[in-house]
Each structure stands twice: as structure tokens, then as C-alpha cells.
Amino acid sequence: MSSGLTVAKQRSMCSRQPTPNHDSAARASAASKSGQTAYFDTVTDYRYMADYDDRVNASGQPTRNEGIYFGRTGVGGFMSTDGNDLNVVNPKTRSDSALAEVFIHEVQHDADQHQSGKNWEDQSGPGRPTSPYVAPRWVYNGYQTEFRAYWMNTEDTQRDNFGFSGNTRVNNRTINAVYANAAGAPQRAGSANTNFRNGRQQGIFSHMFRTEAPGNIYRQGNSWTQSYAYLPHHYVFDENFRAMVDNMALPAAGNLINSVRIQDLSDAMATRNANRVRAAVDELDSMDVNYLNDRSLTQDFWDQARSQMTQATVDYLLARLARG
Ligand SMILES: [Zn+2]
């Protein structure tokens, strides 16, 4: 744990940080992770007493890091990977609008059904690549769910700090990455130029990749060296992943508005039971209908509808959408 995050742990990066330690900043600094925050406890279930080793070394530094997670400072909340538990960190310290952003962001991670085996999981990339230079499927889904969640943090895309989607003046940049083995010895270096389509896409990418790692090493053996380290690493080394990131200029999704009725409809479609689907269609409200009528932001929903619904059931849905 003290050397970094395992490859598997990075999967739900935004959503894994519990509460900061009392010696959070000093501990992160002693672990050569200045600017990050140490959180406890990654081992104990949150319902029980969390614990960590607060003993210090001869220099007065806390360095015993079993169960400690190092991550981004100022995390607002996190959603469990099964989508059942939404946790908010230090809510008293946040404004109402900042809290609303946390809720929208974290609920979107569940609503977009990107997790392994869920209705709208992206099947790009291998499940278990044997090469460290090939992006696995969870990296595709991980980037896409963050992209959607950040995109939807606020409804007014001109006022948050990610930039405006209508702004096509972007600043592309060169990303450098080095893969090192577990001992830290560089194995391969590479670089790639970004190709953003709009300012909001660029803003979200730059938020997720805002700190260049020492030596540009984002993956060392099987460990990631910082939050969202998979992004610069695979952006440089895997051209298929890079193409997906460059082309994701809008949040193609199935349920960007976090609607429980659209979730129910998706679940009903997965059963292929026409009566259940029609009942779920009947529950849609006008906001659901407005959203599903926008074909540019609902691709995952319509892909599922086309593959799992009969034409008669699709027609029933279309008739509902036509009524507005
Ligand atoms: Zn997130």
C-alpha cells in the first residue's frame, strides 16, 4: 500500500477516498506525495472503527502506511462501486452548490451504468491485457464515467471551471509518459499530442491530469503513481484509447440526468419483458422525455433499446416521446 495504488484499485479513483488522517499532509509528504492527502482506512469497513498506525520515525515523520490511501486533496465524496452507497466527505465545509455538484457527480457514476456487466458498459479494450501498454476495459469505462460525471456537475456549462462546450478554441498539449518497472527503472518513454474538440472536453481532461509526475512516470510495475495516472499513461502508450479520448467531445451516455425512471426503463429492457417495458415507459416524466428526445446525448440508451426491444415496443416508446 505504501508504494502506491495497485492497478485494480485505480478503477474507481474519484470514489475511493474516505476521511483524511489527522497527520494527513505530513504523512503524504513523508511518502513523497506532497500536495496529496492521506485518507484512512482502506481496510476496515466504514461501519466499524477505522484505524491506522500513527507512530513516527526518528525524524518525527509518520511513515507506517498500511491501510492508508493517498489521493487528491479536497475530495467531496464517493460512490461505492456497486452503486448502493454514496458517501460525502466533510459536508459542513462545503457550500450548498458545491454539495449539489458532489451529489450530481457521484450519482451519475451509478446512473451511467458503466461498471463491469452493467447495461451500458463499454466493451472496448481487453478485460485483462498482458502488456502494460494496452489499456484494459476498465480504463475506457473509468475515463468515460468521469467525463460524464464532470460534464454534468453543473447544469450551466458556462459557469463552472471546466469551460464551455461551444468554445472550439482549444490549447492542445504534448503529454509525456515513461513506464518504469517495479524497481523504478525506465522501460519505455513516449509522447502524444492531444486533439481536443472543445473547451469543456479540454477542461475535464486537464482537471483529471493536472499534475505531471516526477520523471513522467505514471505506472511503476503494477502500481499507479497518482490519481487518474491511467489517463496520461494510456493516452501516450495506447493509440486506441487515445482516439477514444480525442473523439469523446460530448458525453455520449444513457442517463445523464440521473433519472430513476430511465434507470427502471433500462432494467426493464434488460428483462426483454414487453409488459414491464411498457409500464416503465408510462412512468417517464417530461424531463425524461426531453432528454430521450435528444439523440446526441442518449446513445447508450438507444443502443440498448435497439438490441433488446421489439419494434412494437420501440414504437410504444417513440409514441410516448412524441407526445412530449
Ligand atoms: Zn468521479
Which stretch of 54-63, 221-230, 293-302 has the lowest confidence by average pLDDT?
54-63
158 domain-assigned: yes
Examine residue 305 and state whether it is found in any structural domain, yes or no: yes
pLDDT at res. 90? 79
The tens digit of pLDDT for each residue in 160-200 reads 778 888 888 999 999 999 999 999 999 999 999 999 999 99
Amino acid letter for position 132: P
Q: How far apart are CA 37 and CA 178, in angstroms?
A: 24
**Per-residue pLDDT tens digits for 127-136:** 999 999 999 9
CA angle 169, 241, 157 (to 5 degrees): 35
119 Cα to the center of ligand 1, angstroms: 19
| Distance in Å, CA 109 to ligand 1 centroid | 7
> Is residue 155 over pLDDT 70?
no
Spacing, Cα 324 to ligand 1 middle (Å):
32
Least confident of 66-75, 194-203, 233-242, 277-286: 66-75
Cα(14) to ligand 1 centroid in Å equals 4
**Number of domains the chain is built from:** 2
- Ligand 1 mean position to 268 CA, how many Å? 27
Q: 272 and 246 in one domain?
A: no
Confidence label for 15 from pLDDT (cuts 50, 70 and 90): very low
146 alpha carbon to ligand 1 midpoint, in Å? 5
- pLDDT, tens only, 78-132: 777 677 778 788 788 888 888 888 888 889 999 999 888 898 998 899 999 999 9
Of 186, 233, 187, 193, give the one whose Cα is nearest residue 209: 233
Q: Is residue 130 part of a domain?
A: yes
Confidence of residue 16 (pLDDT cuts 50, 70, 90): very low
Tell me the three cell numbers of residue 256.
Answer: 445523464
Q: Which whole-number Å values give the CA distances from 276 to 6, 152, 266, 273, 307, in the listed order?
A: 42, 29, 10, 5, 16
Boundary residue ending a domain (196, 218, 250):
250
Q: Do 279 and 200 belong to one domain?
A: no
| Highest mean pLDDT out of 5-9, 19-23, 27-31, 261-265 | 261-265
Helix (DSSP H) and strand (DSSP E) numbers for the chain: 11, 10
Neighbours of 51 (CB within 10 A): 12
Half-sphere exposure of 125 (CA within 13 A, CB side): 28
Domain membership of residue 295 as a residue range: 260-322
Q: What is the pLDDT of residue 46?
A: 45
Q: Could you tell me the distance, in angstroms and rounded to a whole number, from the CA of residue 105 to the centre of ligand 1?
A: 6
